[in-house]
Chain A
């Protein structure tokens, strides 16, 4: 201890200066990154609550309020646009997407994670690669397929199509959860005469509830923020989901209703941002397919 103290003293003031300099540099660079990341959100926020006279007055410093904040733009969003219908549509379509995803993913992920059968490795790789098929590759043929199902310009076309990306993503994610349930538990149940299906329903699923809840959340938020398919399949305002509605319906001709547009943007962003921040590590694990344990 004494030796250490002595060494500290014997360090020249140059050492301390360097330490301070490093610290200042660290915080300065970090602050730059944070400002770059957050400024657009601050800008959404301030646009949402500004009076129109303040927002479009070029004499004012745009970074601050010059008139008291107002809820006019939010009110306009709820009263003069279809915003509440978009919220309803999002809830309905999201619910169906979640239902399909869970019903399809849980059994698939279960066997791919816990059984070995001919082709199982290839199948899990195939499902993983499906997630890499981008919407921009399939929107044209899918629009024909959707027409074939009689779902032109209907929100239900989205409920049909969105599982194409929620299924691969959630299956892959769920496989990670199922792999973590010790094999011994199911083996013991099997020895005691429990069927494979019984072992799944009675032993593994009950302890995997957190995993299933996670895919419910991801399936819903992935559906909620999708844009390309929504833009392709749905054009009438009262069939739109929330993200598409906000970014298309608040532009009338050349006039952008920036205040209400940013209000809608903020309302969509906040819940999704919170969820993704809480589940960020799980999300990344889902994407990277457990390449790193």
Chain B
């Protein structure tokens, strides 16, 4: 039946098509030829630029003078000596870890809510997905407007609910600005965590959970010892993506505070943009943006290793 279908489809092959087809018929050649465009594109526009970036870190290139001399570790030392950069480095970790932790906890709660059977579940899910579905730059702008020093609707609500008498200048003061950035990151990525967790949890076989329940395992034990080990692979991948994208994102910071007040809210990515693109110092900027690459690479390899070991089980 299947062969019949296949034969009827293959009869239409013309002369030249057949000849090219036969040339490509070795599995190896066929494979390499079809993968080649993708590999070429990535090598040209990811691999090659990456190599240039590495060269920038040890040279004194600027946008005005991209052909530069080798300057060794000058950039690295200058960057390490820069107070704003050190602050940005700390901020990057603070923002990523705090928002990741909040996402994990809130995402788990949200996933369990969405797994209940209730009327309007699809609508509730769609509404909760919204922050993740709109472009990040747009979301950041909406929050900037909500946190506007004069017209902040959040402060208006806070004042009228009796929470405070005036409300902070959210994006103009150090700690409120840091909190705002974390909130926007959580707002944006929470739906992703929730979806991943929902998909994972609903794939856990019900019988195993019931068996654990009968054996007297409470919800915490069921969560730690049954659900988490089963959904670990998807959790690792989701965590990897979430970490990398929060770690390297500059959109939220750039649109909301531009690193202000006085460079206190920069993250590495936004400060690298400020230095490399706005100020045109390619060497310094590249040194900053590559600064965390080794950390990310090691983290990614460890996560993927762990994942592979688990999926083979």
Contact B138 A247 (CB under 8 A): yes
Q: Let me know if B52 and A130 touch, CB within 8 A.
A: no
Q: Which of A62, A137, A225 contacts B248 (CB 8 A)?
A: A137
Report, as a range, how many residues of chain B touch the other chain.
35 or more
Is the beta-carbon distance between B290 and A137 smaller than 8 angstroms? yes
Q: Which of A44, A108, A275 contacts B37 (CB 8 A)?
A: A108
Given A26-B116, A189-B6, A276-B129, are A196 and B24 also a contact pair (CB < 8 Å)? yes
Instruction: List the B side residues contacting A256 at CB < 8 Å.
Output: 145
Find out whether the CB atom of A41 lies under 8 angstroms from the CB atom of B156.
Answer: no
- A167's partner among B38, B124, B145, B245 (CB-CB below 8 A) is B38
For the complex, what is the distance from the CA of A61 to the CA of B153, rounded to whole Å?
9
Count chain B CB atoms within 10 A of each CB in A143, A195, A256 and give the residue with the most. A195
Total interface residues on A, using CB and 8 Å?
A: 109
Contact with A along B239-253 (1 / 0, CB 8 A): 011001101111100
Docked complex Cα distance between A189 and B199 (Å): 36
A289/B128 in contact, CB under 8 A? no
Once bound together, how far apart are the Cα atoms of A26 and B272, in whole Å?
Answer: 44
Q: List CB contacts (< 8 Å) of A94-148 with chain B.
A: 100, 103-105, 107-108, 110-112, 115-118, 120, 123, 125-127, 129-130, 132-145, 147
Alpha-carbon distance A276/B304, docked complex (angstroms): 27
Number of A-B contacts (CB under 8 A): 317
- Which residues of B lie under 8 Å from residue A281 when comparing CB positions? 195, 199
For the complex, is B237 an interface residue (Cβ under 8 Å from A)? yes
Given contacts A41-B142, A104-B38, A136-B250, A116 and B156 within 8 Å (CB-CB): no
In contact, A262 and B277 (Cβ under 8 angstroms): no
A289 contacts B237, CB within 8 Å? yes
Task: List the A side residues contacting B116 at CB < 8 Å.
Answer: 26
Most buried by A among B46, B63, B151: B46
Chain B contacts for A275, CB-based, 8 A:
133
Whether the pair A142, B130 counts as a contact (CB closer than 8 A) is: no
Rounded to whole angstroms, the CA-CA distance of A275 and B129 in the bound complex is: 12
Output the nearest chain A residue to B118 by Cβ-Cβ distance: A26
Contacts of A228 on B, CB cut-off 8 Å? 250-251, 273
Q: Verify A184–B234 contact, CB threshold 8 A.
A: no
Q: Of the 9-residue stretches B28-36, B79-87, B164-172, B207-215, which lies at the interface with chain A?
A: B28-36
Q: Which of B108-165 contact A (CB under 8 A)?
A: 109-110, 113, 116, 118, 124, 126-143, 145-146, 148, 150-151, 153, 156-157
Q: Which residues of A contact B191 (CB under 8 A)?
A: 37
Interface assignment of B311: CB less than 8 Å from any CB of chain A? yes
CB pair B276 A139 closer than 8 Å: yes
Closest to A225 in B: B135
A111-B34, A243-B138 known; A141+B128 contact, CB < 8 A: no
Say whether A37 contacts B2, CB under 8 Å: no
Chain B hits for A161, CB < 8 A: 45
Interface 1/0 per residue, A213-226 and B, CB below 8 Å = 00000000000110
Report B194 CB to chain A, min CB distance, Å: 9
Q: Which of A30, A33, A61, A116 contacts B27 (CB 8 A)?
A: A116
**Closest A residue by C-beta to B33:** A107
Q: How far is the CA of A276 from the CA of B135 in the complex (A)?
A: 11
Q: What are 17 residue pairs bridging A and B, where the CB atoms are less than 8 Å apart in the complex? A: A34-B128, A43-B145, A44-B142, A63-B157, A105-B38, A108-B39, A132-B241, A140-B285, A140-B289, A141-B51, A141-B56, A141-B286, A145-B48, A167-B42, A256-B145, A262-B141, A288-B238
Given contacts A37-B191, A107-B34, 16 further A-B contacts (CB under 8 A): A110-B34, A117-B30, A134-B245, A134-B248, A142-B49, A143-B277, A185-B2, A188-B2, A202-B13, A225-B138, A228-B250, A258-B151, A261-B141, A277-B126, A284-B196, A291-B233
